[in-house]
Amino acid sequence: MADDIILEIDNITKMFGGLAALKDVEFSVSRGEIKAVIGPNGAGKTTLFDVLTGVQRSTSGRVFLKDIDITRTKPHRITELGMARTFQTVKLFEGMTALENAMVGCHSWTKRGFISNGLVLLWALAEERRIYQHAFEVLKDVGLGTRAAELGTNLPYGQMRMLEMARALASKPEILLLDEPAAGLNPYETGELSSLLLKVRESGVTILIVEHDMGLVMDISDEVVVLDYGEVIARGTPAEVQNDPRVIEAYLGIEA
């Protein structure tokens, strides 16, 4: 793996019985880039994210994160290694405030355990303050600083999506995987999301995004990978992919 590659997908195949959801998918993500994965519904995009983050195991192929083979690694360990994600359907903890939801994301770098919590050790209290402050700063970064004390599930839908991203960012990831972050957002919220993702990239976090909003994809992506029926059918710059006959056919169902 080249020094500038943070994530490498090496011939990943995922079978569900006799159905191949992914077929020999292969591409890499370089540090500091925003790479988009697009494709029609059922193309295998979310399945790919599930395989990359350990939610599902591939049938064959390997995944490398920073030269570490994570193909059979559990999700919590992958997060500790520096890869976080959001989900296609918003998943927040009910009964927890926005701040508490964000604080959950800090578990990957904290050192507190059952004994230190029970004994209320001074260093554990100091770490609790660091967790609180870090989570609150992340909330402010995504525009939710004034909503920290509100229940996460009571926020408007667009802000719930921002909260899920804040929780992922609270884990201090080196690469962030976003599964349709613009789904359900209005044009103004999508514009805010675009600006936020560029700022996240500027902070040193690499982004791999699955998205149906082609305006967003074309605005922020350095490179686009197109999946159709589980296979990579095209890759390149947004302009190259947008004009690729195979991509047009996959989306429109007609020969370009």
Domain residue ranges of the chain, discontinuous segments joined by +: 1-82+173-256, 94-171
Task: List, for residues 52-111, the tens digit of each pLDDT value.
Answer: 999 999 999 999 999 999 999 999 999 999 999 999 999 999 999 999 999 999 988 876
Q: How confident is the model at residue 128 (pLDDT cuts 50, 70, 90)?
A: confident
Q: Count CA within 13 A, CB hemisphere, residue 123.
A: 6
Reported as a single tens digit per residue, the pLDDT across 141-195 is 999 999 999 999 999 999 999 999 999 999 999 999 999 999 999 999 999 999 9
Six-digit token pair at 137?
């700063």
CATH of 1-82+173-256, one of 3.20.20.70, 3.40.50.300, 3.40.50.720, 2.60.34.10: 3.40.50.300
Give the pairing type, strands 223-228 and 175-179.
unpaired
Q: How confident is the model at residue 132 (pLDDT cuts 50, 70, 90)?
A: very high
Distances, alpha carbon 68 to alpha carbons 7, 9, 33, 77, 79, in Å = 9, 12, 20, 12, 13
Alpha helices by DSSP H, the chain = 45-52, 75-80, 98-104, 114-119, 122-141, 157-169, 187-202, 214-220, 238-242, 245-252
- Paired strand residues for 8: 28, 64
Q: Which two tokens mark 141?
A: 């970064």
* Cα dihedral value 45, 47, 51, 53, nearest 10: 70
pLDDT band, residue 25 (cuts 50/70/90): very high
CA terminus-to-terminus distance, the chain: 36
Question: What's the pLDDT tens digit per position in 34-47?
Answer: 999 999 999 999 99
Longest dimension (CA), the chain: 68
Q: What is the DSSP string of 25-49?
A: EEEEEETT-EEEEE-STTSSHHHHH
| Cα angle for residues 19, 20, 23 (degrees, 5° grid) | 165
Q: Tell which residue, 78, 79, 81, has the closest CA to residue 104.
A: 79
**83 beta partners:** 175
Q: What pTM did the predictor assign?
A: 0.91
Q: What is the pLDDT of residue 110?
A: 79
123: confidence class by pLDDT, cuts 50, 70, 90: low
pLDDT value of position 114 = 47
Confidence of residue 124 (pLDDT cuts 50, 70, 90): low
Dist CA 245 CA 180 (whole Å)? 24
What is the DSSP pairing of strand 19-30 with strand 34-38? Answer: unpaired
pLDDT (0 to 100) of residue 120: 53
Q: What is the DSSP letter of 147?
A: G
Measured CA to CA, the distance from residue 201 to residue 42 in angstroms comes to 28
For 208-237, what is the mean pLDDT? 96
Question: What pLDDT does 250 receive?
Answer: 86
Q: Which residue has the higher pLDDT, 127 or 235?
A: 235
